[in-house]
């Protein structure tokens, strides 16, 4: 979390993330520190890991191969003394909205780089494994 | 309908709220919607798609907001980060 932000702002941002992206995404963010976006069934092949104020990582949803880092931000130039950076959960939600609503537009704005430019690929692969296990555990918890 | 904006200081702030079926409310919502787009914000409408999957749509005009939408979320437009 960004130290500069009021914790109440981050809590409000988390609740907005929960109301827009859903309970799973909010729980993922709270428990893992990032949000995973999988392609819809039969649509596309790219999955994304969304980190707060870090690049979005694209991966092949079938193989897990890391493909690209997309560096993108949402600077609020009208914010004055509060600074330009959104609370972490808002940054994650803005990326989530961008990817869900208009993936090409968001990716078109971002600076693209190879995996490993800013984020350690080993850590990202570990996050992908953690996400798979987390999803499997959540699926098992759902009563039949 | 609520118009909400992400904000560095506050997380999110309520900009306006009203019933777009009422002419007076609708006018107020439209004016605030336009003001936010003039400030360079993107506007998104959250929705629930098939099988309960959460979705969002970017809109450029108030007329694109579906009737019955509960909220519109404004946030700063995306910019390329560190290259």
CB contact under 8 A, A101 and B46: no
Contact B11 A78 (CB under 8 A): no
Q: What is the pLDDT of residues B13-70, one digit of tens each?
A: 999 999 999 999 999 999 999 999 999 999 999 999 877 889 999 999 999 999 899 9
Using a CB–CB cutoff of 8 Å, tell me whether A84 touches chain B.
Answer: yes
Asked if pLDDT for residue A144 goes beyond 70, the answer is no
Q: What is the dihedral of CA B37, B78, A50, B4, to 10 degrees?
A: -20
Smallest CA-to-CA distance from A118 within A53, A47, A35 is with A53
Position B83 scores a pLDDT of 53
pTM of the full structure: 0.92
CA distances to A34, A35, A92, A129, B80 from A98, in Å: 16, 13, 10, 24, 13
Distance between CA atoms of residues A96 and A99, nearest Å: 5
Interchain CB distance below 8 Å, A12 and B40: no
In 3D space, the residue among B80, B19, B61, B54 whose CA is nearest the CA of residue A16 turns out to be B54
User: Among B31, B29, B22, which Cα is nearest to B45's?
Assistant: B29
CA distance A112 to A109: 9
Answer yes or no: is pLDDT of B11 > 90: no
Name the minimum distance, in Å, from the CA of B40 to any CA of chain A. 9
């Amino acid at each position: 979390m960004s130290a500069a932000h009021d914790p109440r702002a981050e809590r409000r941002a988390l609740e907005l993330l929960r109301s827009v992206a859903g309970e799973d995404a909010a729980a993922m963010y709270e428990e893992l520190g990032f949000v995973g976006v999988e392609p819809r069934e039969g649509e596309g092949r790219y999955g994304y890991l969304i980190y707060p104020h870090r690049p979005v990582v694209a991966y092949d949803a079938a193989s897990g191969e890391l493909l690209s880092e997309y560096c993108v931000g949402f600077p609020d130039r009208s914010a004055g003394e509060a600074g330009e950076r959104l609370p972490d959960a808002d940054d994650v939600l803005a990326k989530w909205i961008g990817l869900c609503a208009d993936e090409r537009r968001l990716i078109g704005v971002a600076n693209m780089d190879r995996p490993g430019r800013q984020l350690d690929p080993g850590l990202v692969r570990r996050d992908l494994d953690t996400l798979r296990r987390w999803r499997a555990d959540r699926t098992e918890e759902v009563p039949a | 309908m609520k118009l909400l904006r992400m904000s560095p200081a506050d997380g999110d702030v309520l900009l306006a709220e009203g019933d777009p079926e009422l002419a007076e409310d609708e006018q107020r919502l439209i004016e605030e919607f336009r003001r936010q787009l003039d400030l360079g914000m993107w506007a998104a409408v959250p929705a629930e798609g098939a099988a309960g999957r959460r979705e969002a749509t970017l809109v450029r005009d108030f007329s694109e907001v579906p009737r019955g939408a509960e909220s519109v979320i404004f946030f700063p437009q995306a910019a390329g980060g560190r290259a």
